[in-house]
């Protein structure tokens, strides 16, 4: 009789074992993702690991020259770096104190003040230089792009026009 009772429970045990094995290997359902979240994510990808040329040019400065550039949204740690050298009259001519100029990095608000002739602060500045390497961390842009300006300004009483060779980029 004992063997009969074991045989009756054998199919029940087999079914329970199969049930537990099936439950263990079943994947949980994937969470539903709306298309709007997908589009929002793709529209706000971080520019980290990329770079942008800001200025690569030879130009003249009589009073001042400004070059706008924009940092894209979600740039966590944008880093501006580059070089400029100024000469009197002709490129690769005289590059000494007579070729000095001021270099400024301005935010939009600072540039508005500057363009109105109001003295103000700059995010970064170099005074009276004719040859300079620049390395500067800009503020994070958060969820909106941010506009900045590179400004080259003739020093007060700076004399003749200057020719500037500049090469700047931003790494993100």
Buried b (16+ CB within 10 A) or exposed e, 10-30: eeeeeeeeeeeeeeeeeeeee
Question: pLDDT at residue 152 above 60?
Answer: yes
Domains of the chain, earliest start first: 47-171 (2.60.120)
- Stated pTM of the model: 0.70
Answer with the residue of higher pLDDT: 40 or 20. Answer: 20
pLDDT in the model for residue 96? 79
Q: What is the three-class DSSP state of 49?
A: coil
| Cβ count within 10 A of residue 39 | 10
Strand partners, 64: 153
| Cβ count within 10 A of residue 49 | 7
**How far apart, in Å, are the Cα atoms of 167 and each of 67, 103, 140?**
12, 13, 22
Tens digit of pLDDT for each residue in 59-115?
999 999 999 999 999 999 999 999 999 998 766 666 778 899 999 999 999 999 999
pLDDT in the model for residue 21? 53
Please state, in angstroms and rounded to a whole number, the distance separating the CA atoms of residues 157 and 155.
6
pLDDT bin (cut points 50, 70, 90) of residue 165 is very high
């Amino acid at each position: 009789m004992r063997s009969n009772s074991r045989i009756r429970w054998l199919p029940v045990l087999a079914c329970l074992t199969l049930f537990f094995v099936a439950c263990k290997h079943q994947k949980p359902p994937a969470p539903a993702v709306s298309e709007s979240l997908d589009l929002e994510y793709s529209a706000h990808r971080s520019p980290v690991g990329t770079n942008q040329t800001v200025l690569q040019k030879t130009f003249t400065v009589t009073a001042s020259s400004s070059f706008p550039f924009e940092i894209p949204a979600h740039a966590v740690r944008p880093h501006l770096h580059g070089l400029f050298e100024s000469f009197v009259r002709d490129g690769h001519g005289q590059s000494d104190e007579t070729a000095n100029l001021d270099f400024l990095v301005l935010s939009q608000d600072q540039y508005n003040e500057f363009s109105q002739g109001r003295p103000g602060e700059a995010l970064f500045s170099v005074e009276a230089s004719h040859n300079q390497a620049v390395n500067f961390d800009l503020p994070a842009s958060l969820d909106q792009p941010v506009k900045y300006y590179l400004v080259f300004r003739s020093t007060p009483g700076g004399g003749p026009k200057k020719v500037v060779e500049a090469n700047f980029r931003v790494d993100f």
